[in-house]
Amino acid sequence: MRLEDQRVSQNVEDRRGMGGGGMRMGGGMGLGTIVIVLVVSWLTGANPLTLFQMAGGLSGGGAAPAEQGRVGAPTDDPQAIFAGRVLASTEDAWNGVFQAAGERYRPPTLVLFEDAVQSACGTNSAAVGPFYCPADEKLYIDLTFFRELDQKFGAPGDFAQAYVVAHEVGHHLQTLLGVSERVQAARQRAGEVEGNRLSVMQELQADCFAGVWANHASERNLLDQGDVEEGLQAAAAIGDDTLQRRGSGRVSPESWTHGSSEQRVTWLRRGMSEGTIDACDTFGQGTRR
């Protein structure tokens, strides 16, 4: 992709180095200080949290750097910069789409993390892969997933990585459009098989929205030759049937939650070719409220 001269989104929250969920006891104080604070609390009956805050202030501390996190992609991290530029390009694309419809686009925040992270949807490990939380309107990515996308799933290339970001932004669009709320309500009334089918439709729509973004990126001359093929290869590599075949050798369509490789490629390609939200009606009921 040709993103070298593009801006980096300001909606990036870097939590790497914060550990599994992002909190450190005592604001980075040493073990000895923590023990002393606990002893004083036991002897005096004082609130230990208040004493921790006082101790942090006396040591010139407050929150440790890892607790505060680093806002914005660091200048020395090419992958974080790339992710921030991809996010910025999705902001530009969807701002234009929403403005044309007389609406205002509210962008999500991209949270970079390592190993595990706390979100409004609970604590998740990096093993779940990139995910979007509608409760806080943030997408969460451990950047090591990009390496797995290449080495484990056989989907190399910068556009394959950009597709992952754009897919999670697609879930944010579903929140803004009311799709996520409707699907959640329908799944609560449905059985397991029907619930899985609705999940597949939701994931395929996010793929299609990623394709719409790619269409706009192409119009802005941000794609290199071969980028489209990288994206389609990535979509095929993470289809439910492909993953099941690789894992157990047995394909069970009734258990799919994201769609087959063919389905994912079809809807990503459709978004790319048509470039409109209306092209992404995987439910057959309209994508807008």
pLDDT above 90: percentage of residues in the chain: 58
| Residues 239 and 260 sit within 8 Å (Cβ to Cβ) | yes
Interior angle at CA 230, CA 264 and CA 75, nearest 5: 115
Contacts of 136 (CB under 8 A, 6+ apart): 109, 119, 120, 121
Per residue in 133-177, pLDDT tens? Answer: 999 999 999 999 988 888 888 888 899 999 999 999 999 999 999
Q: What is the pLDDT of residue 38?
A: 53
Per residue in 100-136, pLDDT tens? Answer: 999 999 999 999 999 999 999 999 999 889 999 999 9
Q: What is the pLDDT of residue 23?
A: 40
Mean pLDDT, rounded, for 229-257: 86
* Residue 192 reports pLDDT greater than 70: yes
> What is the C-alpha radius of gyration for the chain, rounded to an integer number of angstroms?
22
Q: Which of 71-80, 229-238, 271-280 has the lowest mean pLDDT?
A: 71-80
| Residues 138 and 111 sit within 8 Å (Cβ to Cβ) | yes
CA–CA distance, 235 with 44 (Å, rounded to integer)? 60
Q: What is the pLDDT of residue 42?
A: 54
* Residue 142 burial class via C-beta count within 10 angstroms: exposed 0-12, middle 13-18, buried 19 and up: buried
Mean pLDDT, rounded, for 66-76: 47
Q: What is the pLDDT of residue 286?
A: 52
Mean pLDDT, rounded, for 246-254: 84
- For 69, the 3-state DSSP assignment is coil
Half-sphere exposure of 86 (CA within 13 A, CB side): 24
pTM to 2 decimals?
0.79
Q: What is the pLDDT of residue 21?
A: 53
Half-sphere exposure of 14 (CA within 13 A, CB side): 19
Q: Which of 58-62, 87-91, 257-261 has the lowest mean pLDDT?
A: 58-62
Reported confidence tier of residue 64, pLDDT bands at 50, 70, 90: very low
Per residue in 194-236, pLDDT tens? Answer: 999 999 999 999 999 999 999 999 999 999 888 888 888 888 8
Per residue in 8-56, pLDDT tens? Answer: 999 999 999 875 554 433 344 445 555 554 555 555 555 555 444 455 4
Contacts of 28 (CB under 8 A, 6+ apart): 56, 61, 63, 64, 65, 66, 67
Q: What is the largest CA-CA distance in the chain?
A: 70
